[in-house]
Structure 1
């Protein structure tokens, strides 16, 4: 088959209207890919779009992963089997409210690293990644018998920089590595964004959530005689920790905008299904202050986070039906919600009791950030002794991101977040000379958009300014929490301190459920060894989605790492979500 970009899109020389929806394979367990794709086709879509997250596929330099949830080839082939075309967005940067916009944090271990410009050390890493990735994507293109009709070279680049040499290099590299389908960019529909983010010979598309006629009007003036495509029709929005409530879009307005969009051009829904920021993969934004995103990426999408059909789905389907015949699709995946009830705490142990089992300390005169220690995600604990002090009066953590809890003699002293880390804090803490000081720093999720991308080293990169001088001599404990099998729950537990809590339950059958953490403070949840994501009592998310395929028939284990010393006596697994 042949897909072409001319005055409009053509499939084998016949005009073709793209009606697409975004599903990020890395936000959905693979056991549910078929269900989500079947529901996409049943909506009337003929195409699925997905980003490809570099940080997931190359978590360490030179170590690549394409298994399980990261088997992008399987996802694309499955879409093709179901009769769907595919748009891939494999650009090094994806934004997507994803940790560092998909850029791997190990890039930040190199001093002077510059992102998303013609900077040879960065380009070298992109090339080495693309040589592996494009070899997998090449056979999936439509002119090779696969379903992929288009790929993106960069994402919203006009909102970051305007280095045309870099964009041309990306285009030429993809062509060199065998990508033959049409290429595209996507930017906001404004003068600066489009002029900064596009290059000749590559389709320009736009991202927006309203004012379709105005946006398409500008796009048609910018690129006359070119297809009009909204690559991201924002039909919802994402949530940040501390929001008053879950973000919900204006459905009536979206209906009208969709009708006009399909009349004038082509659409990709962002998101068809948002899915979940599993693990430590949520991104963050920084405008007036740091706003890390919640674990749910529900996005008020057409399907809910757990794949349920919504009123938005039903209304959009009617509008799409005006422009194409809706196929009848039988849904083949049996999915149920199950309430497993209340689970009491069975075992618990303090972080300080098992620190040496979980991490091998690295000593240094000054504290170092995670990236310099070979760590990307999670927490890091800095330990020292106050050998020259008997009173803590002033404290400042220089070059610290994002949230730090300070302990003296294993007692909480102060918690600092974001801008509070920039200021010298007045304190009044007495202790015996030689007392321990511990600073537990959490990477809340790296900023994924705008000008702070290169400032995302986590932990402490400057130093600790204590009572008017630098404090030296640190033991640093990286805590990515990827080795909880080493936990020894027979060791000491103290209330009010960071700790691990263990739960078990028997499942006669497995199904989707929602972990209710009412009564707990802040932390992260592991289910049968899988990092489910973060919880935080400030909301708006009140329950974490737990997909049924992560559970086992029979015995299951849940471990909570809670950092605030606010622990409940139990958790619950309910059959309804609560995302605020």
Structure 2
């Protein structure tokens, strides 16, 4: 078997049009991979594309995970069993609205790190990772009878830099670790992006865009210089949401379907996203232009399948277009999926963070504040404590190089919350007690996943804390990745208005997909049976968290909310729809 790139794509010597859709295995529970892939095939696609998140496969340096949500081999094999081909994008950087664009946080422990450049320590880290990663799927390439037909070198690199030596080093590394299929690059067709991000003697240049396809294909055709296949590697059919957006982003069906038709008239396509899925836990990234824009937990993307895998009207419209170019297969859907509205669930227990801090973390002492990266903490929250001493007026209080959101307390009483651009603004207040303890709870809202801010993504407090014009010293640090909530003791005290944990018991007769409605709650993160569902925030546009049925069990299910704003209710509820309709 073979797949080659010449004047067009050839599969086993015959011309082949790639009709692909993006599904990120790491955004979908494994029990639903089969269902999503069956629906992809039924729409008329012959290929599935996926990114690969380095930061989840090598969560801590040298510790690799290819199980559960991150079992990339199983995902590829499931696609193969359905007769689908696979495009793998194993770049160390993926963007994807994913925490740090897929780069692991621990890279930032090197104070001179140059991300996405031919900086040898960075390349060495990639090499060690690729050795483990490529072992998962090199035998699944089409040359060996598997489904993988192409791999991508880097991702949208032309929008970041133009270090061609870096791109070539990555391609060489991929070959070294067993890649034998053709390579591609993908970039926007604007400005210098194709020139910056392409290595045409090594990889086919493709484009990422969502409109004006005919015009963009002409730009790509001219860039190629001679006849090569045209492909939109990311045909954007929707968009992602950030917390605080006025509404859920959607794209009208008609314009998207017309652009798909224009694409298939001249070339191949990968639909981004066919199915968006969910940014479980702390995996959502952020963008930063004029302000910080952290992405929501839902990655619905207004895709062809909803976040919970339902077929949409846009799916039907795309299926009609695809039917003009290929025969639609008859694909039975083998996974039984039901939606359940479990209704209201009353609060069982609650306890304040300050009263269980000793159970969740051991204090780490330092003369100055340390960042998450220095403390080897990937995600979540970090709490800082320091003694301010006697009562007096504080005329100049500032947080220096603090990211991303900080709640400031004096003697466990909330003073103010600082966020993004106002985080270094000066505050003035009075210390009224004889002795005063300063506590700062800092939340990592997601490391920026695109553009020039990526090299400055240290979370927590990096610069220091100014108290009356001078740096405050002597700190205790408490790491709170919230991966050990089994240690909580709900018999301890609770106080209103401060960060706290809330426990609920959901009893079900039958497990079904459901949505946790967090109306009446402020901001935080939710867990079900120990699984981190992701962040919630009252500012929306997302109002409910998706709970796939495989996370539930018949009988008793434990739900825990960690809420940071002191805004809580006496119940939560579970609905059968996302609320984005």
Q: Secondary structure at the match of 1:413?
A: strand
Structure 2 residue 36 is matched with structure 1 residue 36: yes
Residue in structure 1 matched with residue 183 of structure 2 by the alignment: 183
Pairing 1:374–2:376 present: yes
Q: Does 1:243 align with 2:245?
A: yes
Work out the CA distance in 2 between the residues paired with 1:428 and 1:447: 32
2:337 match: secondary structure = coil
The ranges of structure 1 where at least 4 consecutive aligned residues each deviate by more than 6 angstroms after the TM superposition are none
Secondary structure at the aligned position of 1:346 is classed as strand
Per-residue CA deviations over 1:204-262 (Å, capped at 9, x if unaligned) read 11000000011100000101211100000000000000001000012211111111100
Q: Does 1:67 align with 2:61?
A: no
User: Which residue in 2 is equivalent to 1:477?
Assistant: 478
* Secondary structure, counterpart of 1:345 in structure 2: strand
The whole-number CA distance in structure 1 between the counterparts of 2:223 and 2:506 is: 59
Q: Secondary structure at the match of 1:107?
A: helix
- The answer to whether the 8 Å contact 2:390/2:433 transfers is no
Decide whether the 8 Å contact of 1:283 with 1:445 is kept in 2: yes
- Equivalent residues in 2 for 1:104-143 (5 A)? 104-143=104-143
What's the offset of the Cα at 1:431? 2.1
SS of the residue 1:371 aligns to: coil
1:47 matched to 2:79:
no
Q: Report the number of matched residues.
A: 579
1:311-390 pair list within 5 angstroms: 311-387=313-389, 390=392
Alpha-carbon distance between aligned partners in 2 of 1:138 and 1:208, rounded to the nearest angstrom = 30
Separation in 2 of the partners of 1:158 and 1:188?
Answer: 8
Contact persistence 2:408–2:440 (CA under 8 A): yes
Counterpart in 1 of 2:234?
A: 232
Cα offset, 1:433, TM superposition: 3.8
User: Counterpart of 2:423 in 1: which secondary structure?
Assistant: helix
**With structure 1 as the length reference, what TM-score do the two structures score?**
0.99
Shift of 1:468: 1.2
Contact map agreement 2:187 2:206 (CA 8 A) in 1: yes
Matched, 1:447 2:462: no
1:3-22 correspondence to structure 2 within 5 Å: 3-22=3-22
**Aligned: 1:516 with 2:517:** yes
Q: Give TM-score, length-normalised by structure 2.
A: 0.99
**Is the Cα contact below 8 Å between 2:390 and 2:436 reproduced in 1?**
no
Q: 5 Å matches for 1:480-491?
A: 480-491=481-492
SS of 2:42's equivalent in the other structure is helix
Partner in structure 1 of residue 260 of structure 2: 258
Give the deviation of 1:393 after TM superposition: 2.7
Structure 2 match to 1:397:
399
| Equivalent-residue separation in structure 1 for 2:168 and 2:530 (angstroms) | 43
Structure 2 alignment gaps of length 5 or more: none
The root-mean-square deviation of aligned C-alpha atoms, in Å, is 0.9
- Residue number in structure 1 paired with 2:79: 79
Q: Distance in 1 between matches of 2:431 and 2:103?
A: 44
Q: Pick from 280, 297, 300: which aligns with 1:298?
A: 300
Q: Report deviation, 1:434.
A: 2.4
Contact 1:190 1:218 (C-alpha < 8 Å) held by counterparts = no
Match of 2:205 in 1: 204
Q: Distance in 1 between matches of 2:191 and 2:298?
A: 34
Q: Deviations over 1:492-527 (max 9, x none)?
A: 100010000000121111010000011000000000
In structure 1, how many angstroms separate the alpha carbons of the residues matched to 2:431 and 2:458?
32
SS at match of 1:432: coil
Cα shift at 1:117: 0.4
Q: Does the Cα contact within 8 Å between 1:188 and 1:207 map onto a contact in 2?
A: yes
Structure 1 residue 389, shift from structure 2 partner: 5.0
Q: Which moved more, 1:5-14 or 1:189-198?
A: 189-198
Does 2:121 match 1:155? no
Alpha-carbon separation, structure 2, partners of 1:105 and 1:196: 26
